[in-house]
Structure 1
């Protein structure tokens, strides 16, 4: 079934929308949640929450791309769950590494929030990422959107893990410079 038909099922409040969404996009959303959360149980719970969130938000929203819409919901829910579970302890795993790596570019401190609207920062990062060459963009997005492990990215792209790590390091440095040039205090 095409995305527009699935969205119409949501708008019509037809419960088949969730079944079809799970069938078509469950593996995609599951991979995102799994990369961030690690455990199968947390992944499954996050998927259930994704379908509920989509059910509750679809009458207000008509997403341009259903896959991206569901991926964003899943990613946000997974990171929120991760932060909640690791609030009192420093945990390992890819999510902690991803957040730590990006922390050197975008600190999330009040100074950024106080000087610029969050949307401006998000837009600037989007412009930066869209301007990257395809190979760097792919590596950056896989690491920081999908929370893929460096060794998995390297294997899939036929590169050495050190090459991927160095590419990510240089791209983060470029992002930091790009944001600083545009007046964001980091």
Structure 2
């Protein structure tokens, strides 16, 4: 299996082997992230294919610093867009709605901001600082839930923790994040 730099170089050389190497290395992870959002195997497989196509069209000109994060951002956004499109008129049954409901009172309302670009940079930096100050375990729980849309039982299984501990950590993290955002001047 090739390292990420070699895969990126294949994309820049327009070598179709880049697609197969990417799928071999990150296909299962992409599928898992998409399935957590969509809860539909066919839609998740389609999102993985769409991600590979988007990668092909993005690299070049892009040269991602971290291929894994670049890919995961694409699959997550494509899956969220697909979910919104399919469920625009009705509520879904997956983790997406549950996760958004959990965190909606924690994150700032960007509609009320004067300068969206400056606020989004400030928000990004604040979130990164928040995550960097969490223990590895808490960060894994928080990111698993709110970035990868993993269920609480899946997080507890993956980390060998009780579901009640995961719930408590998530609650406390949301409280800490809300306090930090308020301190930083965000309206939540």
On whether the aligned pair clears a TM of 0.5, the verdict is yes
Deviation at 1:109, TM superposition (A): 4.3
Deviation at 1:58, TM superposition (A): 1.0
SS in 2 for 1:117: helix
Deviation at 1:158, TM superposition (A): 2.4
Structure 1 unaligned spans of 5+: none
* Alpha-carbon distance in structure 2 between the residues aligned to 1:113 and 1:104: 20
Counterpart position of 2:143: 141
Counterpart position of 1:126: 128
39-48 or 108-117, which deviates more: 108-117
Counterpart position of 2:41: 40
Deviation at 1:59, TM superposition (A): 0.7
* Alpha-carbon distance in structure 2 between the residues aligned to 1:110 and 1:163: 34
Counterpart position of 2:12: 11
Deviation at 1:136, TM superposition (A): 0.9
Deviation at 1:66, TM superposition (A): 0.9
SS in 2 for 1:34: helix
Deviation at 1:114, TM superposition (A): 4.9
* Alpha-carbon distance in structure 1 between the residues aligned to 2:9 and 2:77: 24
Counterpart position of 1:55: 56
Structure 2 unaligned spans of 5+: none
1:84 aligns with 2:90: no
154-163 or 125-134, which deviates more: 154-163
Match of 1:162 among 164, 170, 173: 164
SS in 1 for 2:14: coil
Deviation at 1:113, TM superposition (A): 6.5
The residue correspondences of 1:75-114 to structure 2 (distance < 5 A) are: 75-112=76-113, 114=115
Deviation at 1:112, TM superposition (A): 4.1
With over 3 angstroms needed to count, the CA separation of the structure-2 counterparts of 1:114 and 1:97, relative to structure 1, is farther
With over 3 angstroms needed to count, the CA separation of the structure-2 counterparts of 1:112 and 1:99, relative to structure 1, is farther
TM-score for both structures, normalised by structure 1? 0.93
TM-score for both structures, normalised by structure 2? 0.93
**Matched residues, number:** 186
* Alpha-carbon distance in structure 1 between the residues aligned to 2:86 and 2:122: 29
* Alpha-carbon distance in structure 1 between the residues aligned to 2:108 and 2:100: 10
RMSD across aligned positions (CA): 1.5
